[in-house]
């Protein structure tokens, strides 16, 4: 055994402490996923906002087929006519009035509207 205190200290220092285990969470590995996590959330949020903005912008403006906007001459109440009336820029109320009360029923030459004829007759009950 070493005689002097200095030699004994040197002897003791030859014993190396057993190395510590690796850290359970590596510092570098820990910060990276956090960064990606927040970026993923930000990207998702931005995408959602853009999608909502686009939907709001085009809401109530469906693509209109030009054939639909052309109001047919017929006064008959058809789906096509209703679509055409609603898409011509009138308010919904005006469009409904136009559908319900056609101003000039157009009939072929030589024909009369029975409703028109009966409306002109003076009948006594």
Partner 1 sequence: MQTASELERLYHAHGAALVLFGTSFASDRGIAQDAVQQVFLRLIQEGNLAHVRDPKAYLFASVRNQLLNDSKLRSRSVELTLDSAWFEPPERDYAAEQNLKHALRVLSEDQRQVVVLHIWGELTFSQIAEVLEISANTAASRYRYGIEKLRELMCAKEAI
Q: Is 34 a binder of partner 1 (CB under 8 A)?
A: no
Q: How far apart are CA 52 and CA 46, in angstroms?
A: 10
CB of 13 to partner 1, least distance (A): 6
Least distance (Å) between residue 39 CB and partner 1:
19
Does 35 bind partner 1 (CB under 8 A)? Our answer is no
The dihedral through the CA atoms of 70, 73, 77, 80 has a sign that is: negative
Residues 104, 96 contacting (CB under 8 angstroms):
no
Q: How far apart are CA 119 and CA 113, in angstroms?
A: 10
- Tokens 């510590």 sit on residue: 20
Nearer to partner 1, 14 or 123 (CB): 14
Give me the least distance between CB of 22 and partner 1, in Å please: 9
Binding residues for partner 1 (CB under 8 A): 1-2, 5, 8-9, 12-21, 23-28, 30-31
């Amino acid at each position: 055994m070493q005689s002097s205190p200095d030699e004994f200290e040197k002897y003791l220092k030859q014993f190396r402490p057993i190395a510590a285990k690796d850290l359970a969470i590596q510092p570098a590995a820990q910060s990276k996923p956090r960064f990606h996590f927040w970026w993923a959330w930000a990207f998702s949020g931005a995408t959602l906002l853009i999608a909502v903005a686009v939907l709001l912008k085009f809401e109530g403006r469906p693509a209109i087929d030009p054939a639909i906007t052309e109001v047919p001459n017929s006064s008959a109440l058809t789906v096509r006519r209703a679509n055409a009336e609603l898409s011509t820029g009138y308010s919904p109320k005006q469009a409904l009035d136009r559908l319900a009360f056609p101003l000039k029923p157009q009939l072929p030459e030589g024909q009369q509207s029975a409703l028109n004829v009966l409306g002109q007759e003076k009948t006594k009950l």
